[in-house]
Homo-oligomer: A and B are copies of this chain.
Amino acid sequence: MDLMKSGWFSEVSELWPGQSFSLEIKQVLFHKKSKFQDVLIVQTKNHGRALILDGIIQCTEFDEFSYQEMISFLPLCVHKNPEKVLVVGGGDGGVAREVAKHPLVKEFVQVEIDSMVIEQSKKFLPFMAKGFESPKLTLVVGDGFEYMKKHQNEFDVIITDSSDPVGPAVNLFTEGYFHLLKTALKPHGVICSQAGTVWSDLHHVKETLKNCQKHFPAVKYSISSVPTYPNGQIGYLVASLDENVDLTKPVYRLSENQIEALSLRYYNSQIHEASFVLPNFFNRTLWS
């Protein structure tokens, strides 16, 4: 393997041309092609363990909490009563870990298409895969599209924890997907999806927001810092079926004690609000 020869893994993608992020690797723990993608799990030198799908870093032990906490708590904290939740994707278990924490969530279903990611995360990435141990969770191996077609008007919140818009996740950014999300939600339902960053691809973020706006009256875009993602940043699309909801203001606010008790390392109620405040060049281009 070239990877082990050099001792470094380098992430190169046409999604972010002319730049590359590299991690020093101590050991390859798992590497195999699944039915859907290339699955690589490594022990890095300084970033703990990392999951890499189709050559793109999905999460590292160093910084995964920023993404997992934000994509989970942003939608959960703007819904008045997020009792029943659906997670699409998220095969590493990190989102399940965070959703399980929220005091108002009574039950949640997770639909992940690639069983290899689930199994190997359980084996090698227990800091995330411990999310699968929640008694609130029903884990389904299958296609999120197909699942939602059979489960209409059922969920308060739906979180889409997908990889980037190439490979198995390509459909999770389309208008058709947002239509399906809408039908699977109960009234007042809220969604949150990984939406890329404007630094990498303004056009893609804008398209995704537009696709969502065709079916949701309230749509916002939020960002958080994730150092091992391209440009060190990831964006979240948060949307509600209820046009009167201010998605930037959490209705469920966390106390200092709760933050401590829930082991939240990134998300707090102030970060929630601040994460929707965007640089001028984002604002100018995103909503025009």
Contacts and interface: CB of A to CB of B under 8 A. Distances in A.
Residue of A21, A232, A275 most packed against chain B (CB within 10 A): A232
A155 to B, nearest CB: 28
Copies of the chain in the assembly: 2
Contact of A63 (B47, B66, B199, B267): B199
Contacts of A46: 17-19
Nearest to A18: B46
Residue of A259, A267, A270 most packed against chain B (CB within 10 A): A270
A222 B92 CA distance: 32
A96 B265 CA distance: 37
A80 interface: no
Interface string A1-30: 000000010100000011111111000000
Interface in A151-192: none
A233 interface: yes
A287 interface: no
A271 interface: yes
A227 interface: yes
A280 B271 CA distance: 9
A7 to B, nearest CB: 10
B227 A232 contact: yes
A278 B265 CA distance: 10
Given A18-B44, A199-B225, A266-B279, 18 more contacts: A8-B20, A10-B22, A17-B45, A18-B23, A18-B46, A19-B22, A19-B227, A20-B22, A22-B22, A63-B199, A225-B225, A225-B279, A227-B233, A232-B232, A259-B280, A264-B280, A273-B274, A274-B274
12 contacts: A10-B22, A18-B44, A19-B24, A19-B227, A20-B21, A20-B24, A199-B227, A223-B225, A227-B232, A265-B281, A266-B280, A267-B279
Shortest Cβ-Cβ A-B pairs, 3 listed: A232-B232, A18-B46, A227-B231
